[in-house]
Structure 1
């Protein structure tokens, strides 16, 4: 009986030791990627890296940026993956992101990456704004098709437009920044004041205005071009319109804690394998060798606003305070 007991105890101990050896290292990754793509990215990474497990913490760009800044003295994230370049520039300035040179950097489009020395963030993809226009609702309401940002200030559109709150949505903030940078501050704020008269509500998600337009809840959603293309491909009665001066930005990855496991997450996130997943939704991705045509995605290249991402990061707090003081009263409840 004693021998059996000893053998049983040894077997249990060996099993426990084996379990500990095989247990995956967990990496906490903060993200603003859309919820419906997180599982795909996690599964692909963990298949290639079975000894590492990703724990996502997800929220919209503005909220995630604020969370990272609030945790500056006691960081909880190890990697930030899928956050706007302007936010990444601010996080670097605040000392939250570590300088790191990932494997495969030479394969990336430089214009999507941190432009400063001691690079700390790298573009996974570029995302663009658009106007999602429900053609059925427009016909019912006798609304003309808008072709410019100025068109959206016409009285005929009063109560028919939704757009993201820039304080909680990177999609919203990049369009506000595009208006300010390309119109000038005075004209940009005056434009937003006129547009505000026609806004029915501001959402806390960048894709939601397009989803609402696709469902007929509003006629017009200022939103993500990629979401508009996807919904149109799925059969939504949308026209995805890109007026001159559309906002755009890179979604990027960066290192918060300098561990080997966290570095491997960053390395994989810029790999060709990862970019082949990004390109399923975004037609412009970081890797030079990955290209695709996304069904119903509008031609954005000649409509892109000139964007200064460093300025977006440094002005963020002041711009958002001004915007919130003027317009937050129409925001949806969180």
Structure 2
């Protein structure tokens, strides 16, 4: 076998395994369909729904084939805890899709790079870190909702709730599931919104009464809605995106937006200031604020950062934006640890075991 043939064979094996270095393959890599341009790999931590990652990653790769995203995905609380635990030895380059309150906490911990993305001024001001040293940028807003199974309700003679207060009625005892706020961003936005809407003392009183009717707390924000869709419960406190997707698939659900208003959270993006791939990280964050990216966000979320982009999302309740509370994210971020500690002390006994 000639030296040239041996080299081509080695390069082909490297491409197939993705574990061998391509250094030394030279121009022969072009014959094998491999670009000789260096590919930068970014480790991206996210709490985005798993069914969104491929679409987002593929769209970015079309514009920047020289940057490869390696996703690390989990629920909001788990990703937040992971990032904070790794503070002394960070593994992530970028966070793309995590609760704004989580990123505010990391900013206060000095973990994030100050960076103002290109054309960020085109975004709605609510979705921008407008401080002197901006460290995060918003993508979209996800909103709380009640997933109500109409068939299960008929079986158990349950009326349709219209408010958060309704869920404390005796008829719903054992028929309500919600997420644990320590592991779920959806759970935290609910708890935070109740404390802001009712006031702190009355908010905890409300959760005491609600706890009586809760059958279990899950570690995923979407799971209560999935359990409602499958008939394992009549009521799942979850978020509108997951409910709309399940209705689209034929689940016997109605999305209820409580009259008191709904909690919501910004999904946001930031750069870890310890990254060794700063240029590629900035390229990703620049892309994340584009109109193209926001059109992708709008496929699942009715409220996005780029004005004029959002179109109605099928099965979303009408005028959902009008029901979003005046959320104090700075307050939520500042008090996050105390809120979670208090919640765990009071209610964790009904939580699912951690996997």
Fold shared, TM-score > 0.5 on shorter chain: yes
1:271 aligns with 2:286: no
Query: Is the 2:180–2:218 Cα contact (8 Å) retained in structure 1?
Result: yes
Deviations 1:285-306, CA, capped at 9 Å, x for gaps: 1112412110110132232222
CA distance, structure 2, for counterparts of residue 301 and residue 206 of structure 1: 20
1:254 aligns with 2:273: no
Aligned residue number for residue 308 of structure 1: 328
Aligned residue number for residue 26 of structure 1: 41
Query: Is the 2:120–2:128 Cα contact (8 Å) retained in structure 1?
Result: no
Aligned residue number for residue 341 of structure 2: 321
Query: Is the 2:7–2:25 Cα contact (8 Å) retained in structure 1?
Result: no
Deviations 1:61-81, CA, capped at 9 Å, x for gaps: 111111111111111110001
1:198 aligns with 2:218: no
CA distance, structure 1, for counterparts of residue 220 and residue 7 of structure 2: 54
Query: Is the 2:96–2:270 Cα contact (8 Å) retained in structure 1?
Result: yes
Deviations 1:72-128, CA, capped at 9 Å, x for gaps: 111111000100010011111111111101112122111122243211111100010
**What are the within-5 Å matches in structure 2 for residues 82-231 of structure 1?**
82-231=97-246
Q: 1:153, CA displacement in angstroms?
A: 0.3
Query: Is the 2:94–2:281 Cα contact (8 Å) retained in structure 1?
Result: yes
Distance 1:16 1:148, change over 3 A: same
1:17 aligns with 2:14: no
Q: 1:274, CA displacement in angstroms?
A: 1.1
Query: Is the 1:107–1:289 Cα contact (8 Å) retained in structure 2?
Result: no
Query: Is the 1:124–1:250 Cα contact (8 Å) retained in structure 2?
Result: yes
Q: 1:144, CA displacement in angstroms?
A: 0.6
Deviations 1:190-232, CA, capped at 9 Å, x for gaps: 1001000000111111111111111111000110111112211
Question: Helix, strand or coil: the match of 1:22?
Answer: coil
Distance 1:283 1:182, change over 3 A: same
1:280 aligns with 2:299: yes
CA distance, structure 1, for counterparts of residue 75 and residue 67 of structure 2: 25
CA distance, structure 1, for counterparts of residue 154 and residue 5 of structure 2: 76
Query: Is the 2:180–2:217 Cα contact (8 Å) retained in structure 1?
Result: yes
CA distance, structure 1, for counterparts of residue 26 and residue 350 of structure 2: 57
| Structure 2 unaligned spans of 5+ | 12-22, 30-34
Question: Helix, strand or coil: the match of 1:182?
Answer: helix
CA distance, structure 1, for counterparts of residue 271 and residue 264 of structure 2: 23
Question: Helix, strand or coil: the match of 2:77?
Answer: helix
Moved more, 106-115 or 61-70: 106-115
Question: Helix, strand or coil: the match of 2:309?
Answer: coil
CA distance, structure 2, for counterparts of residue 119 and residue 274 of structure 1: 20
Q: 1:136, CA displacement in angstroms?
A: 0.6
Question: Helix, strand or coil: the match of 2:322?
Answer: coil
Moved more, 80-89 or 102-111: 102-111
1:49 aligns with 2:69: no
Query: Is the 1:89–1:114 Cα contact (8 Å) retained in structure 2?
Result: no
Aligned residue number for residue 234 of structure 1: 249
CA distance, structure 1, for counterparts of residue 84 and residue 291 of structure 2: 31
Query: Is the 1:272–1:289 Cα contact (8 Å) retained in structure 2?
Result: no
Instruction: Count residues in correspondence.
Output: 331
